[in-house]
Amino acid sequence: MRAFVKQQALPFLASLAGLERLIAGTKEPLINVFYHTVSDVYLPHIAPLYRPRNTKEFERDLDFLLQHFQPVDAHEVLLHVRNEKRIEKPSFHLSFDDGLREVYEIAMPVLLRKGVHATVFVNSGFVDNRDLFFRYKAALIAGIYPEIEEEVLNINYTERNCLDGRAQESGIYFNDFLQKQQPYLTSGQLKAWKKNGFTIGAHSEDHPQYALIPEAEQVAQTLNSCDFVQKEFAETERYFAFPFSAAGVSDCFFEKIRNSVDLTFGISGIHTAHGGRYTDRIDMETYGKNAEKCIQRAYMTRFLKQIRS
């Protein structure tokens, strides 16, 4: 029944209700939406994990968003969730996770043309293609050996070293891939991104599942990556997006980062918590095929939660 509600009934109910009514009904005019990348070509490190939008689909998404919402930057989100300056008009904040190079090469020209602000959340360990996210390693192995796809994609952060062993046995060289593919943004691209008026936030050092690491390590991953962004790119406000999700993070964690991080972002739709220190985002690559579906679904989920509580 639950699965039916999620997959079938929710989008249907949302389309009946209409977006304007849902925005009014939830009294939440601000949404945070996020993608990882935009690509017109096959990306072997990403293909087994999710399907990114191509340029046309991304532009269509932005056109839909701009029709119903006005773009705002991370600072305006911060003031809104802290109740310092509430946003009244329907608005959206766009962000990208994982610091992938297409954000600069493909998305940025579109954003500049359409006048949309965005924040990119980077892993300090991966900027300049210094290392590769363990999920991308798993995806590369799965792409070559589909028969072990399920097995390698199930390998978690604490088991990640075995991916290097697997690759070595199979003659896959991650360093070669990093050099040839250059999947990540470089420091130079990030500086140019910032010069164009966009924002840079942190996304941990090497993208662990926070639920699987001790709290001291969660704090260190968070603060070290925020320090990196501040130092390298002179960002004055410290924004952080949880790698994967904020699952497994306690109130105590939020207490420990309270004075060192301005705002944290999750991935669970439309929701704010921890006294204005945490706000969720809509995962556009997972929620639906286009912006209209993703956003209606997120608002409907929020609306149903509100009437249940």
Contact residues toward Zn ion (CB under 5 A) are 97-98, 243
Residue nearest Zn ion (C-beta atom):
97
- DSSP states of 73-139 as a string? -HHHHHHHHTTSS---S-EEEEEEES-BTHIIIIIHHHHHHHT--EEEEE-TTTGGG-S--HHHHHH
Which CB sits closer to Zn ion, 220 or 304?
220
Which CB sits closer to Zn ion, 97 or 292?
97
Which CB sits closer to Zn ion, 98 or 280?
98
Shortest Å distance, C-beta 192 to Zn ion: 22
Look at residues 17, 200, 232 and name the one whose alpha carbon lies nearest to residue 98: 200
Instruction: Retrieve residue 153's tokens.
Output: 């994609």
Shortest Å distance, C-beta 49 to Zn ion: 10
Which CB sits closer to Zn ion, 91 or 119?
119
Shortest Å distance, C-beta 11 to Zn ion: 26
150: Cβ–Cβ under 8 A, 6 or more apart, which residues?
none
Shortest Å distance, C-beta 241 to Zn ion: 7
Shortest Å distance, C-beta 203 to Zn ion: 6
Which CB sits closer to Zn ion, 125 or 243?
243
Look at residues 152, 218, 232, 230 and name the one whose alpha carbon lies nearest to residue 187: 232
Look at residues 288, 280, 268, 295 and name the one whose alpha carbon lies nearest to residue 18: 295
Counting other chains too, the contacts that 84-90 makes at CB distance below 8 Å and 24 or more residues apart are 87/29, 87/30, 88/29, 89/29, 90/23, 90/29, 90/30
Instruction: Retrieve residue 27's tokens.
Output: 């009294």
Which CB sits closer to Zn ion, 87 or 294?
294
Shortest Å distance, C-beta 50 to Zn ion: 11
